[in-house]
Structure 1
């Protein structure tokens, strides 16, 4: 199965943002978080993770900031609920291998469902997780930036600011974990 979007990964990234899978608009446009109602780039900017508002077609440029992008499953769908159990299992193994290979300082999961599928945990809270699915990589769960997400925009922004502080702490003290 081919991936709808390329992975933007490199060794030693500050953070890798992990989505569930590309939506149809993102797959069609060829860029992460391309649906107009998705607030990902706005959240990065408003939280102080970027110094300006990036557009989806600039997704590869986030690598220059030390930010990577990937998805749990590469196939695009209307909804993550359209993914099969087999796709989730295969995506889990692939993502764990990527995180172990590239070893970002932080893996930020854009939604509780992604982290639940990856970690096997039935209950997931937002924020920094107590354990890590890949040793040495901090796990952080943010609310989905999708407009379909039930979380309020203020809560999403609060979480992205918490992530900004975690990344800044790591920048000041060297690699965390």
Structure 2
């Protein structure tokens, strides 16, 4: 995957990244919103330093570490990706409270339509703001979303210094176990 140019990153502000989604998934992962790097490449969690793909593998969701360009392979494992807000930004803090609230409603509609068993929001701040749950904690949530169990995961962004790689993998592995997904093992690199 070629590194986007400065012009491509600037142009990514107008792009919408398509969901990786299908009916009846085991887990629908939900990012806050796509970054400019993801918008420019057309791949979720694509920025170098984002720990989503290595964490999925370390947590046992995938038998090997997928590259962002292989995102459609997630469907083979019963996994998908969407975002609370579809609009690309350089940083998630550029999003407004209204965008997060509207995004939570749209996510609920997606969950009703596609019927995943779990919806996993990767980012406690986005969950708290979008779902108006200011005291929410990581892990399983008491309410359902569109009939799916709701889970909050740490944001895998490299900017999230609160969670080291092992901590991220453990949090994701807890979800994998709750979803009844067997550990998928294999090499750590492609």
Query: How does the TM-score come out when normalised to structure 1?
Result: 0.89
Which residue does 2:52 correspond to in 1? Answer: 40
CA distances 1:77-102 after superposition (whole Å, capped 9, x unpaired): 01111112332233222111111111
Which residue does 2:71 correspond to in 1? Answer: 59
Is contact 2:97-2:129 (8 Å) kept? no
Q: CA deviation at 1:3?
A: 5.4
Is contact 2:15-2:39 (8 Å) kept? no
Is contact 1:119-1:133 (8 Å) kept? no
Aligned counterparts of 1:2 and 1:98: Cα–Cα separation in 2? 22
Q: CA deviation at 1:169?
A: 6.4
Is contact 1:46-1:157 (8 Å) kept? yes
- Structure 2 unaligned residues grouped into runs of 5+: 1-12, 183-190
- Structure 1 unaligned residues grouped into runs of 5+: 171-177
Structure with larger Rg? 2
Q: Which runs of 4+ in 1 moved over 4 A?
A: none
Is contact 1:108-1:139 (8 Å) kept? yes
1:126 to 133, 138, 159: 138
Aligned-CA RMSD value: 1.8
Query: How does the TM-score come out when normalised to structure 2?
Result: 0.83
Q: How many residues align?
A: 169
